[in-house]
Structure 1
Amino acid sequence: MQETRILLIRHGETAWNAERRLQGHIDIALNAEGERQAEALAGALAGERIDAVIASDLQRAGQTAQAVARRHGLPVLADPQLRERCYGGFEGLLYAEIEQRYPLEFAAWQARNIDAVMPDGERRAESFRQFYERAVGAILYWAAAHPGATLAVVAHGGVLECAYRNAQGLSLETPRSFQVMNASINRFTSTPDKLVLSSWGEVAHLQGALDELP
């Protein structure tokens, strides 16, 4: 089977990233800095081969993907399976508000109980295990559908975390000890059931890139 190359990209910054407000499935657009990051990202990838551009169907990922796709004359293929984790009742709250309003559930989340589920809000929350299986499965699906191609896949901080853990063989229970930066380029190849990491956290195209939470 031909090797598929994956440029896995986190969306540009949003106002909620900047203020540490949890987005999850809430559909927030890029802020001005995020738009600048998306254009810088597109410029950095303009000279690279890209055969398809795939993105989460949330607009912060779609806007970032559109900037890349325009340079290559490609459409953006939207996939809801590439969405950020659904945090249920945590969504839309500042981290400090979550801790105050849901102390037990917040503690389980911070302790990395991977089967704990947050209280439902407008949407049903996912456990980290459920989210991991969805996110990695979606990336591997697109890789298998495009053997030998180079894919730009624009998703979210949590999706990138899942991909990194899969490639590095990291337990889901371990704390995140690596940065996941807005508009970063992260390079993988794929086997039928696993991702292989080539390069992580490329941000030379950005100035003052910040590691923000999803």
Structure 2
Amino acid sequence: MKITRFCLVRHGETDWNVARRLQGHTDIPLNQHGLAQAAQMAKALKAINLQFDVLYSSDLQRAANTAGAIETQFGVKSLSDQALRERHLGALQGLTIDEAPQIKPELWSIHLSRNLDHPLEGGESIKQFANRIHTALENIRMRHEGKTILLVSHGGALDMMYRLASSQSLESEKAVAVPNASLNWIRHNGQTWQVDKWADTSHLKNVALDNLDL
């Protein structure tokens, strides 16, 4: 039985995280705090001598920049995968969570209700998002069966990976936090997924910011 392990990392902090502004596919860079988080996380991984076979990253720069800190520490090159992007939030992208209910009240209500089929006016439905993330994860798993994959992505994407590994339904409310630059471990034994450890931020010395994209 070949066990494939994933160490999932959420990108570091951005100015839009701080402003509580919905990012989605908007390509926002890390801020100085986020760069420091990424560097600290990468140094922590190096210090514990984390063993991994391949590094993957979403192509959005907040994830790619976080992966860049790992590249620097480990002397590796990340593989960029557009399928690992955050959910496209349609007309809600660019709005803060205070602006959204004022500017797009009906759409915000639909978003909060976890309507599985609504694409948020040009974005992705929850079902479409889940299918994209699950397909991406399975493709990577099959490509590197029996290996350890370090993967840098986004809060919503990691939430979908948690749901897959824990068999949590798409309809249910978020069960776990996905802090910036946290370490989250899942595995596949060739038949089923499982969660090993989630939301580890001990290496960040309390500088992580909880996910604001859901």
Distance across 1 between alignment mates of 2:120 and 2:192: 28
Distance across 1 between alignment mates of 2:19 and 2:175: 21
* Structure 1 match to 2:183: 185
Instruction: Give SS of 2:127's match.
Output: helix
* Structure 1 match to 2:82: 80
Letter in 1 for 2:101: E
Contact 1:5-1:150 within 8 A present in 2 as well: yes
Structure 1 spans left out of the alignment, 5+ residues: none
Contact 2:86-2:156 within 8 A present in 1 as well: yes
Instruction: Give SS of 2:185's match.
Output: strand
Is 2:11 the counterpart of 1:16? no
* Structure 1 match to 2:62: 60
* Structure 1 match to 2:25: 25
Contact 1:163-1:195 within 8 A present in 2 as well: no
Deviation at 1:194, TM superposition (A): 4.7
Letter in 2 for 1:166: L
Is 2:95 the counterpart of 1:93? yes
Alignment of 1:14-163 (within 5 A): 14-46=14-46, 47-120=49-122, 125-163=123-161
Letter in 2 for 1:71: Q
Contact 1:53-1:77 within 8 A present in 2 as well: yes
The range that moved more, 155-164 or 136-145, is 136-145
Instruction: Give SS of 2:203's match.
Output: coil
Contact 1:56-1:79 within 8 A present in 2 as well: yes
Contact 2:56-2:150 within 8 A present in 1 as well: yes
Distance across 2 between alignment mates of 1:26 and 1:197: 29
Distance across 1 between alignment mates of 2:51 and 2:105: 48
CA RMSD of aligned residues (A): 1.3
Distance across 1 between alignment mates of 2:179 and 2:86: 14
* Structure 2 match to 1:206: 204
Distance across 2 between alignment mates of 1:44 and 1:139: 25
Deviation at 1:195, TM superposition (A): 2.9
Instruction: Give SS of 2:139's match.
Output: helix
Cα distance, 1:192–1:158 mapped onto 2, change above 3 Å: farther
Contact 1:140-1:190 within 8 A present in 2 as well: no
Distance across 2 between alignment mates of 1:187 and 1:78: 20
Cα distance, 1:4–1:115 mapped onto 2, change above 3 Å: same
Contact 2:3-2:190 within 8 A present in 1 as well: no
Letter in 2 for 1:212: N
Contact 1:50-1:72 within 8 A present in 2 as well: no
Distance across 2 between alignment mates of 1:117 and 1:81: 17
Is 2:174 the counterpart of 1:176? yes
Distance across 1 between alignment mates of 2:126 and 2:147: 30
Q: TM-score, normalised by structure 1?
A: 0.94
